[in-house]
C-alpha cells in the first residue's frame, strides 16, 4: 500500500476528535504501546461508525462490516476501501467520524507497517470486536420498528461483553507484554483472564448507564432470566417511573460489574509500581467505572432517558490529581478502590 501515513494526524488529531476520554488514556501510555493501541482503537471506532449509523439499513451495515473485517484481516492490506467510504460519504452528521472513514487507507497502511506480532494482535481484536457488532445487528430489531428484544441468559451477556470489551483487555495485555520488558514476569494466562474481566466490567457499567437509550433502539442487554427473577417485563423498563421498582435489577447488574472490577484491581496491582504510565492507564478507567456505578446506585431515575447519569468533568480532574499521589502505593490504591466500590453497595 503506497498511501502516505501521517501518524500525528491519525493518533493525535483524529483520535482526539472521535474520543476525548480515550485520547487522555493514550497520551499517558508508555510510548512503546501508544501506536498499536491507538491504531487498534481507530480501526475499532471506524467499524463502530459503520455499525451504528442509521443512514444505512441494517442489511447494508452488516455487509459493510463484513467487508471492513476482510480488509483488516488481509496479511498485506492492499484492497481498495473506496466502497466503504463511498456509501457514507457526506452522510454522517459527525464530521470527526466522516474524517476517520476518509482516512481508512492511511489506517490500513499504518497497520501494514506494524511488527508481525502487533499486526496479528490488532487483527484478532478487530475481528472479535466486529463480530460483536455483527451480533448486535443480527440479534436485535432494526431501530424505529417499536420492538425490543432482550438477551436470554447471563451466559449470553458474558459472551457479548467479551466480544465488545473483554477482548480489548486481552489485547491490551498481550500488547503490553510484547513491548514492556518490566512485564516479562507476568503470568500470561492469569493476567489475560483479569484483563478480560476488566473489559467486561467496564462494558457492564456502560450497559447499565445506557439502558434507557438502548431500550429505545430496541436493545436490552439485561437478560430475560434476570427480568423474570424480578417479575419485570422489558416494556416496564421503558417507563421512567419504574426506576425504583426495577432497582433490584440495577443492583444485580452493579453486583456483576463489581465482581469483574475485583479482577481489574488485581490486574492494576500486578503492574510493577515503577510502571507509572501503565498503572495510570489502567487506574483511570477503573475509577471512572466505579464512580459511574456509584452514581447509578444512588439515582432514583436511572430509567429516565434524559437523566444522563455519568461522572462530571470536575470529578474526573479531581480523580486524576488524586491518582498521581496514589499510583505507586498498592495499599493506598486498595483503600481507594474499596471506598469507591462501597459507595455502590451502600446504596443497596
Question: Are residues 209 and 102 located together in one domain of the fold?
Answer: no
Of 62, 88, 121, which residue sits at a domain end?
121
Residue 126 lies in a domain: no
Say whether both 105 and 232 belong to one domain. no
155, 286: one domain = yes
Asked if residue 260 belongs to a domain, the reply is yes
Work out the angle at residue 157's Cα, subtended by the Cα atoms of residues 142 and 64, and round it to the nearest 5 degrees. Answer: 40
In this structure, is residue 194 part of a structural domain?
A: yes
Establish if 231 belongs to a structural domain. yes
Together in a domain, 100 and 158? no
Question: Which DSSP string corresponds to 72-133?
Answer: HHSSS-----HHHHHHHTTT-S-HHHHHHHHTHHHHHHHHHTS-HHHHHHHHHHHHHHHHHH
Do 100 and 144 have their domain in common?
no
Same domain, 341 and 289: yes
| Domain shared by 223 and 341, yes or no | yes
Give me the residue label for grid cell 510510548: 31
Q: 197 in a domain, yes or no? A: yes
End of a domain among 66, 94, 121?
121
For residue 293, the enclosing domain spans: 140-348
> Is the domain of 63 the same as that of 148?
no
Q: Are 148 and 155 in contact (CB under 8 A)?
A: no
CA 132/CA 134 separation, integer angstroms: 5
> What is the grid cell recorded at 132?
460483536
Q: Does some domain include residue 134?
A: no
Boundary-marking domain end, from 121, 150, 178: 121
> Is residue 181 included in any domain, yes or no?
yes
| Rounded distance between C-alpha atoms, residue 67 and residue 250, angstroms | 37
CATH number, domain containing residue 306: 1.10.600.10
Pair (69, 210) in one structural domain: no
Residues 311 and 241 occupy one common structural domain = yes
Q: Please report the pLDDT score of residue 90 as a whole number.
A: 76
Per-residue confidence in pLDDT tens, the chain, 348 aa: 455 678 888 888 999 999 878 888 999 999 999 999 999 999 999 999 999 888 888 899 999 999 999 989 986 555 567 777 777 777 787 888 888 988 888 899 899 999 999 999 999 999 999 999 999 999 999 887 889 999 999 999 999 999 999 999 999 999 999 999 999 999 999 999 999 999 999 999 999 999 999 999 999 999 999 999 999 999 999 999 999 999 999 999 999 999 999 999 999 999 999 999 999 999 999 999 999 999 999 999 999 999 889 999 999 999 999 999 999 999 999 999 999 999 998 655
- Both 210 and 301 in a single domain? yes
Q: 130: closest CA among 60, 196, 68? A: 68
* Half-sphere exposure for 119 (CA within 13 Å, toward CB): 17
Cβ atoms of 151 and 160 within 8 Å: the answer is yes
Whether 80 is in a domain gets the answer yes
Domain count, the chain: 2
Does 279 lie in the same domain as 162?
A: yes
Amino acid at each position: 500500500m503506497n498511501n502516505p501515513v501521517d501518524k500525528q494526524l491519525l493518533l493525535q488529531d483524529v483520535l482526539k476528535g472521535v474520543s476525548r476520554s480515550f485520547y487522555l488514556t493514550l497520551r499517558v501510555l508508555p510510548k512503546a504501546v501508544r501506536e498499536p493501541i491507538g491504531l487498534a482503537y481507530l480501526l475499532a471506532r471506524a467499524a463502530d461508525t459503520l455499525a451504528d449509523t442509521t443512514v444505512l439499513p441494517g442489511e447494508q451495515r452488516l455487509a459493510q462490516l463484513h467487508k471492513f473485517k476482510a480488509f483488516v484481516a488481509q496479511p498485506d492490506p492492499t484492497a481498495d476501501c473506496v466502497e466503504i467510504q463511498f456509501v457514507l460519504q457526506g452522510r454522517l452528521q459527525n464530521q470527526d467520524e466522516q474524517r476517520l472513514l476518509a482516512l481508512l487507507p492511511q489506517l490500513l497502511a499504518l497497520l501494514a507497517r506494524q511488527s508481525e506480532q502487533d499486526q496479528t494482535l490488532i487483527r484478532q481484536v478487530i475481528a472479535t470486536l466486529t463480530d460483536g457488532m455483527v451480533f448486535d445487528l443480527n440479534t436485535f430489531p432494526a431501530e424505529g420498528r417499536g420492538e425490543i428484544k432482550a438477551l436470554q441468559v447471563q451466559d449470553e451477556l458474558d459472551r457479548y461483553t467479551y466480544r465488545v470489551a473483554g477482548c480489548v483487555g486481552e489485547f491490551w495485555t498481550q500488547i503490553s507484554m510484547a513491548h514492556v520488558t518490566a512485564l516479562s514476569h507476568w503470568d500470561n494466562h492469569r493476567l489475560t483472564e483479569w484483563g478480560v474481566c476488566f473489559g467486561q466490567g467496564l462494558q457492564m457499567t456502560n450497559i447499565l448507564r445506557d439502558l434507557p437509550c438502548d431500550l429505545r433502539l430496541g436493545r436490552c442487554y439485561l437478560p430475560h432470566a434476570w427480568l423474570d427473577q424480578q417479575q419485570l417485563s422489558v416494556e416496564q423498563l421503558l417507563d421512567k417511573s419504574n426506576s425504583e421498582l426495577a432497582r433490584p435489577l440495577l443492583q444485580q447488574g452493579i453486583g456483576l460489574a463489581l465482581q469483574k472490577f475485583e479482577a481489574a484491581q488485581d490486574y492494576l496491582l500486578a503492574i510493577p509500581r515503577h510502571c507509572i504510565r501503565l498503572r495510570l492507564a489502567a487506574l483511570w478507567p477503573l475509577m471512572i467505572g466505579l464512580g459511574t456505578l456509584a452514581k447509578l446506585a444512588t439515582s432514583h431515575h436511572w430509567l429516565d432517558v434524559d437523566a444522563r447519569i455519568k461522572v462530571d468533568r470536575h470529578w474526573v480532574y479531581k480523580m486524576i490529581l488524586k491518582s498521581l499521589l496514589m499510583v505507586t502505593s498498592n495499599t493506598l490504591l486498595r483503600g481507594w478502590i474499596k471506598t469507591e466500590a462501597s459507595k455502590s453497595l451502600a446504596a443497596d
